[in-house]
Amino acid sequence: MVLDAVASYVQHMLTEMVSKENFLADADKRNITDKSVQEWVAQLKRAMYEAADILDLYHLKGHAAKYVHCRCGCFNPLLFCMWNPSHAHDIGTRIKALNKRLDLIKERSAAFSFIPLGSYEDRSSKVHGSHSRNKRCETSGVFDRSSVVGEKIEQDTRKLVEIMLSENEGNTNIMVVAVVGVGGISKTTLAQKVFNDEALNAEFEKPIWLSISKDFDKVELLRTIFTQAGGEHGGKKLFLVLDDVWDHGACDDVLKTPLANVVAQGSRVLITTRDERVARRMKGVLPYHHVDKLEEEDASSLLKKQMISSETDEREIDLLKDIGVQIVAKCDGLPLAVKVMGGLLCQMDKKHSEWEMVLDDSIWSTSGLPEELNHAVYLNYEDLSSCAKQCFLHYSILPKTAVFFDYEIIGMWISEGFLHGTSDDLEELGNKHYKELILRNLIEPNTKYVDQAACNMHDVVRSFAQFVARDEALAAHNGETNIGSKLSAHEFLRLSLESKTSESDGLDWSSLQAQKTLRTLVSAGYINIKSGDYLSLHKLKHLRYLSLKNTDVSSLPDSIGKMKFLQYISLLGCQQFVNLPGSIVKLGQLRSVNFTDTCINGIPRGFCALTNLRIVRGFPAQVDGDWCSLEELGPLYQLRHVGIMGLENVTASSSATKAKLGEKVHLTDLSLYCGSKLGGDGLIKEEDGVPEEEQQQIEKVFDELCPSPTLENLDIDGYFGLRPPKWMMSSSDLPLNSLRILFIGDLSCCTQLPDGVCQLPYLEYIQINRAPAIKRVGSEFMQSYHHQSPHPSQMVAAFPRLHEFELIGMVEWEEWEWEEQVQAFPARALSMLTVCYVQGLVSVEKFPSLVELDLNENHDLERITNLPRLQKLSIEDCPKLKVLEGVPALHRLALVDEDMETLHQYMGGINPMHLELYCSLALLASIAAGQSGAEWNKFSHVEHVKAYAREGGNSRKWYVFYTAKPYSFGTNVNLSAFMSRVCTQTQSSGLSGCSLELPPWAWIGVTAVAGICPLLARRRREVAGGGGDRATLLGWMLVRGRRSQRSAVRRSGTGGGGHR
């Protein structure tokens, strides 16, 4: 009887859920703007989540004989339908009580007169079914989708820079400049351009950028400024940007006394804010800079930029220009709105009727929206499928300043049940949604990471999403003062904490224990954990996703084995973490674990029972007698991402064989790490010399770790074999034909690069970082089978899709070695090449498709030739370079050599549009002399020149800016002041008998100095009379007196030098 009753309760519950599908779409839409509906929707969501918990519990306990996937529209958290269940009395009681709640919710729904729009999933599938025919915009980053359009933003940048550089007439050390405007009008974009301006950076040693949350407190603000400044800014000029300031309180308190009393006169603070009252109360200089809306032409151009991926696209979009202008007008000149609308239109056919539907949508005319709701974001959101909506809302809870990668985010979506499909294809579904959010401009790729692996979310978009999800999720950021009260006032389903770094300020664990309904917990920062606190972790019994990235957690309790719903655990960066409890093997639902950058001391035996795992990162290779942890990976056939650490500990290749990587047919991402044998100089540490038997052993181990051909991303670090793994060579029976991205680091003993990679048809990116035993590169980048061809010129080209190649720290490398039949590097798609810290390389030449070249500290490099398509070239500390030719397309050149005292002769044979130069003070002084200087003829033909010289820690202290047309010339180099300093240095050094020869231009305006310093006056007369060479030695003492000091100070992040 009890069995029948429970089955009846379950059937009634499921019937009630399905009966609501017909009006869920209307309820979801009205929930955003209709307060009367919001409480009803919140009750329904809670009920459905509770139903999901009950049914999932049945599933986990094996009480269900059969499960059928149930569609419950927008509010469906992946429910399982259950038929003919076993049961327990308490579960039956819970279901009965829940059914009563559902009946009451159903009765209340009649008062709202919901319009039956049909099943939301059916509606979405119809909408997106029509879009699936489209050739969508590219998301590879090849096309510029940035907000920068038109000349106005350039004018605004110049205006703000002038204000920041002007003298402050006030009686305070700090001048505040305010940028004011509504959300999404590109205040941050403008502030970033000012922040990166060369002239401004030349005045300040270390600019600081801070994004401010609404509840940021003054203690945390001051602490963060001190940290960003390196702890030393007393008596120095400060340039600080405070982005998105909502309240003047904390910021004003910091600027008034603590900061103003320690920084030097001339310090500057740039704030961006939506509220003019904030600017007024922070005493910003008048008038405030109000960001103007985009003009129609610029707005239309920005919209077009979001959708063009080919010439065909451009022609089609031009045909829709009239209606595009009307859509742009709806965006009211806000760049973010235009970008988001462009992202929406990317999803649609390029047809007049499709775009008209967007133009005529009723959302544009919806009045009374809360401040957080942007019409364009609202429209884009409404066009999402229900699954994509939940994914989008969930993204908004991530900590703003922490980096989360695509696989982590997709893991969140899966663990929450947002993705509807079979268990085997959920990762693919998640990746499609991730790419769609990028395409829609709802999230934006972080350009620091390859392959769109990490993204950012604009504050306006984030505010919209957090408003919609406000009853379910809390994102509490660094410095907020009322996190505890928020947690005590409401139970959340998802919680993201970016807590403070000090023990006294950290969030108490007890505050989290009360969140009984929590399904996702993301913590990045410090949490006050008392002895025994973690023992209660299992009380968060509904938790699906646990991320404790970069926290100070040292272990997990054995009771974690009771958390049967848990699917995702991330301990990335928890450097104090050492102990993994044995009970983790009981978590049968686990799909992902990440132990990277921890001190984990082992994997419990029985780990192989977690057959649901898709991702294992930071897995320690551990040997205990005849047992090796690698064999625990063997039965885990569903793995897609695998990262193994400490492979130098594996003493038998048979142990590696038991990992069965080649049998994991879903494997796409593999990382294989050994402890590095290299020191800071890129050479093998003397104490870590590698015996031959160890080299042979690691070769055998890696040979047995051959992955399946499905692999797309490969990262090998610390490998110390003499040869590459066999499966990376051209002779391999199982080539990695799906490989797209390859990282090889700390290849300490290997004398050759793997020749098999050249044959891979989809390989796009290679980075080789520190391979000291490699002395030549060449033939391994050709198809190995061309030797058997009677016509070598007809061979298949190597690297058909490689577009970026980085070679870093190959300290013994001497040459590119091409065979006679080969006229150039064969990678026809290669557009970016980086070569850094290579001691023996003499030339870089014959790269026919190269567009961008970055060369850094290649001390023997002499020639750069025959690069017909090269547009951007960066050369840093390559002192022997004498030949630069065959670069007709060169557009931008950056030269960095702070000992450079004269421009190279090759400058006269090239014609870049832009030149950025970091040189000695003597050379800069010569350039500052303009047409009367010795260097004029070498750079005057360049359209735009920016040249800098260092003083102390500021590599841009002295500058010269030059534009050919229209002519302008500006510098902060004061020749009189420089000569005075030279006099002082010369006399104090007792060099009255030295022979200084200075050109005539060096004496312009220094008559008074001649009277003070007879030595320099005498040298002036000699030079003016034509005696001796006209060496430009102005600043000689300053330059040489600090050369050893300067050589020990590495410039960071300026001039385009260095590798990415």
pLDDT at 1047: 28
DSSP state of 676: -
Q: Would the pLDDT of 791 be above 80?
A: no
Higher pLDDT, 71 or 29: 29
Q: Would the pLDDT of 1056 be above 60?
A: no
Mean pLDDT of 189-218: 79
Would you call 376 helix, strand, or coil by DSSP?
Answer: helix
Mean pLDDT of 488-509: 71
Q: Would the pLDDT of 973 be above 90?
A: no
pLDDT in tens, 598-616: 999 889 999 999 999 999 9
Q: Which residue has the tokens 């700390």?
A: 746
Comparing C-alpha atoms, which of 449, 450, 414 is closest to residue 431? 414
pLDDT at 266: 80
Q: Would the pLDDT of 640 be above 50?
A: yes
Mean pLDDT of 22-36: 71
Q: Would the pLDDT of 5 be above 70?
A: no
pLDDT at 1060: 29
Higher pLDDT, 175 or 409: 409
pLDDT in tens, 730-781: 888 778 999 999 999 999 999 888 888 888 899 999 999 999 998 877 666 5
Quick one: tokens of 121? 């999933």
pLDDT in tens, 111-152: 777 776 554 444 444 444 444 434 445 444 445 566 566 678
pLDDT at 464: 92
Cis status, amide bond into 287, omega within 30 of 0:
yes
pLDDT at 81: 33
- What lies within 8 Å, CB to CB, of 831 at 6+ separation is 803, 804, 849, 850, 851, 852
Q: What are the distances in angstroms from CA 416 to CA 49, 543, 898?
A: 10, 9, 55
Backbone angles phi, psi at 978, to 5 degrees: -60, -45
Contact 293/332 with Cβ under 8 angstroms?
Answer: yes
Higher pLDDT, 189 or 3: 189
CA distance 259 to 268: 11
Instruction: Of 554-558, 561-565, 782-786, give the lowest mean pLDDT range.
Output: 782-786
Confidence band of 975 (pLDDT split at 50, 70, 90):
low
pLDDT at 24: 67
pLDDT at 1058: 29
pLDDT at 998: 44
pLDDT in tens, 829-850: 899 999 999 888 888 988 889 9
Confidence band of 928 (pLDDT split at 50, 70, 90):
very high
Mean pLDDT of 166-171: 70
What CATH number has the domain spanning 293-367?
Answer: 1.10.8
Contact 893/910 with Cβ under 8 angstroms?
Answer: yes
Q: Where are the domains of the chain?
A: 2-130, 170-290, 293-367
Q: What are the distances in angstroms from CA 471 to CA 43, 381, 934?
A: 10, 18, 70
HSE-CB for 482 with a 13 A CA cutoff: 7
DSSP state of 655: H
pLDDT in tens, 1001-1047: 343 333 223 332 333 333 333 333 333 332 232 232 223 232 223 22
The radius of gyration computed from the CA coordinates of the chain, to the nearest angstrom, equals 32
Residue 601, Cβ density class (10 Å: 0-12 exposed, 13-18 middle, ≥19 buried): exposed
pLDDT in tens, 503-550: 445 566 777 777 888 999 998 766 666 666 677 788 888 999 999 988
* pLDDT more than 70, % of the chain: 74
On the question of a common fold for 170-290 and 293-367, the answer reads: no
CA distance 1011 to 1005: 12
pLDDT at 91: 66
Mean pLDDT of 617-623: 94
Higher pLDDT, 1043 or 984: 984
Instruction: Of 258-262, 389-393, 895-899, give the lowest mean pLDDT range.
Output: 258-262
Residue 944, Cβ density class (10 Å: 0-12 exposed, 13-18 middle, ≥19 buried): middle
CATH of the structural domain 170-290, one choice from 3.40.50.300, 3.30.1330.60, 3.40.50.920, 3.30.300.30: 3.40.50.300
Q: Give the strand pairing for 473-476 and 444-445.
A: unpaired
Instruction: Of 78-87, 236-245, 916-925, 960-969, give the lowest mean pLDDT range.
Output: 78-87
pLDDT at 71: 37
CA distance 166 to 751: 57
Residue 294: which H helix or E strand, with range?
Answer: none
CA distance 189 to 148: 8
pLDDT at 481: 60
pLDDT at 1057: 31
Instruction: Of 354-363, 414-423, 472-481, 1006-1015, give the lowest mean pLDDT range.
Output: 1006-1015
Rank 203-212, 641-650, 734-743 by mean pLDDT and report only the highest.
Answer: 641-650
Q: What are the distances in angstroms from CA 654 to CA 650, 698, 701, 723, 904?
A: 9, 12, 8, 19, 59
pLDDT at 951: 83
Contact 876/1057 with Cβ under 8 angstroms?
Answer: yes
Residues paired with 742 in a beta bridge: 714, 766
Comparing C-alpha atoms, which of 919, 916, 882, 881 is closest to residue 902? 919
- What lies within 8 Å, CB to CB, of 797 at 6+ separation is 783, 826, 827, 828
Mean pLDDT of 468-494: 79
Average pLDDT of the chain? 78
Contact 807/838 with Cβ under 8 angstroms?
Answer: yes
Q: Would the pLDDT of 689 be above 70?
A: yes
Higher pLDDT, 439 or 127: 439
Confidence band of 182 (pLDDT split at 50, 70, 90):
confident
Quick one: tokens of 711? 């692999």
pLDDT at 776: 78
Comparing C-alpha atoms, which of 554, 564, 502 is closest to residue 533? 554
pLDDT at 636: 97
pLDDT at 155: 85
Q: Would the pLDDT of 924 be above 90?
A: yes
Higher pLDDT, 269 or 128: 269
DSSP state of 902: S
**What b-and-e string marks burial along 238-277, b requiring 16 or more CB atoms within 10 Å of the CB?**
bbbbbbbbebbebbbbbbeebbeeebeebbbbbbbbbeee
